Each structure stands twice: as structure tokens, then as C-alpha cells.
Amino acid sequence: MAPDRSEDVVIDIHGLTKRFGDKTVVDDVSLDVRRGEIVGFLGPNGSGKTTTIRMICGLLRPDAGSGTCLGLDIRKDANRIKRLVGYMTQRFSYYEDLTIRENLDFVARIYALPDRAAVVKRTLERLGLYGRRDQLAGSLSGGWKQRLALAASVMHQPRLLLLDEPTAGVDPQARREFWDEIHTLAEDGLTVLVSTHYMDEAERCHRIIYIAYGKIVAGGTVEEVIESSGLSTIIVSGRDVGTIAKIVRDRPGVEQVAPFGNDLHVVGPDPAALRAAVDAALAETGSDAVASAGQTNLEDVFIRLMQTAQAGDLPANGRPTATERSP
């Protein structure tokens, strides 16, 4: 008999829908997330990421749809769910005139954690904050503030961490350290659902989900999402790439043209048409630039998905063509 894996299912939602007034901002969203997974939630501003996250953790009641979070019903057990998840938003919401330690102590009181001093100390040590424990939160840099916020959201040892654009406005080094921390937590069994705008962060997730206009339009590993887009890329390197860009932009088969340093990335769905367009542009300009097959990147795919969604050309039921659900 197959082992019972139901314990491993941390989020399992079906057809989640939320309307504000006459606007449907989350539209028939289904997804499941398993223990220890880091799932990235991507999509343009206003596409419904925060609203979905808030429904999952019991902060907002869906208008339609159902599901469980940590085995509890998102409609009936909202209060219990709230205590079992950690939730971190991009807005820093701690007391600037309290020290790091005092802020954590305050949060520990709210959760009524037993043995508070020991819990705070352990959290300070675990998140590398012990040396700064007496520093006022208001005097911290963006990266340290975010580390404090992360510490506060994991102190009660949640089984699910929901991060809503946690690294907005934080420098690359601090972002990298933050993600190292997230992976360490996930290795210990914590499940993470994180919304982000950054491509490098998407690449650090085990799986990503792309949402546009409230609908999931793609999902899977980064490789699967790129593969299922069906896009090809040609990289043009050499002189005159600016002129080539202007010519090739309007040619049939070309969807995107983007300079990356001294290279030009030309992207389209049909490799033969793409190659013909690039070769014609090179011939017309008499350029000695070199065109070679390149790797389509996630940003190219997201631009395509956003444009497709804007044109209203979503897959049936807003369901992605790749797997938005884990196996």
C-alpha cells in the first residue's frame, strides 16, 4: 500500500476566489504545497498575490473555494491557522524605539510563549542577531530590519512561513543572506510560500507559480516554466546591436528584443522564423555581429505571460499549461 503522505500536504486549496466590489482579484486559484517546499509566488503588481496569501492564512475569507492549511479548514479554523503560520510583509512593523531583543520579547508575549527569555535568546542566536540585541530597531539598516522581522515571524516555530515581498528595497548582499536563511529553515522542515518580484529569488525557489489578473497562468520548476513557454532565444553579440535591435523588433516571429550589456537577446516562439528575422537584420545592416542560440530566461517568459494575460488570452480556466500542482 502506498504510504499516507497527507501529513506532508501543507497547503491544499481549490477554486479560491475573492472579489472586492465588482472586481474579481483572485479567480479560481488552486494549489498544493508540500512540507519543506519553497514556493515562489510571482506576478505583476495587483495580480492578487497578497490577497491569496491572506486567504491561505485565515486573515481573509474567500468568496468561493475551499481548502486546508496545515490540515485545518481555511474557512472554519482561521484562528487556529493564524497561530501556526509565520507571516512577514514588506512593511516593517516593529517598534523602532525598542531594541531588537525588546521587540522579540514583545512578540513572544503576544504569542504567550513559555520560557520567553530562552526563546528570545535562541532566536537571536539562530538568526545572527545576538551581537546586535541591544541596538534600537530604528537604527538598523534595511537588511537587519528584515532579519529582525524574519526572526519575529519564526520565533513561535511556525510550520508554514508566508513571506510577502520580504526583500523589497533590500540590497543584494542582504537578500542573498536572507535566502540562505530561508533554505536553512526549509531544510529543517519549514514550508515557505514567498511572493517576490526578483528573478534571482524566483530561481532560488523549488517551484514557482505565476499569477496574472488573479489567475494562475504558469507553474512548475524554473526549468519547466521556461520549457513550457515554448520560447526560443537568439543572442546577437558584436557591434551595431542597437541598430539591429531597431530593425529586428518589428519582424515576424520576434516577440521581444532586449539588450543585456553588449549582447542583444531576441526572443520568439518559432526558432526558424526567429533565425530568419535575425539573419535578415544582420544582412541589411552589413553587421559582423554574431548570432547564436541562447538560453531563454525567466524574465523573457514572465514578460510573455504578462502580455498574454493582458491580451486576455489565458489558458482555459486560467489553468497553467505546466504543472501548477506538485506531483
Judged by CB under 6 A, the residue of 34, 39, 43, 208 near ligand ADP is 43
104-125 CB burial, b ≥16 within 10 A, e <16: bbebbeeeebeebeebbeebbe
Q: Total binding residues for ligand ADP by CB under 6 A?
A: 10
Closer Cβ to ligand ADP, 48 or 58, answer by number: 48
Shortest distance, position 214 Cβ to ligand ADP, whole Å: 7
Nine cell digits for residue 205: 525557489
Shortest distance, position 236 Cβ to ligand ADP, whole Å: 34
Residue 245 in contact with ligand ADP, rule: CB under 6 A: no
Cα diameter, the chain:
75
- Nearest 5 degrees, angle CA 266-CA 306-CA 236? 10
CB contact at 8 A, 60 and 76 = no
* Torsion angle defined by CA atoms of residues 116, 104, 159 and 89, in that order, rounded to the nearest 10 degrees: 160
Closer Cβ to ligand ADP, 90 or 229, answer by number: 90
Closer Cβ to ligand ADP, 144 or 213, answer by number: 213
Shortest distance, position 306 Cβ to ligand ADP, whole Å: 12
Q: Which residues pair with 69 in a beta bridge?
A: 11, 72
The interface region with ligand ADP, picked from 40-48, 123-131, 216-224, 304-312 by CB under 6 A, is 40-48
- Binding track, positions 44-73, relative to ligand ADP; x by CB under 6 A: -xxxxxxx----------------------
Cα gap 126→140, rounded to integer Å: 18
Contact footprint for ligand ADP (CB under 6 A):
20, 25, 43, 45-51
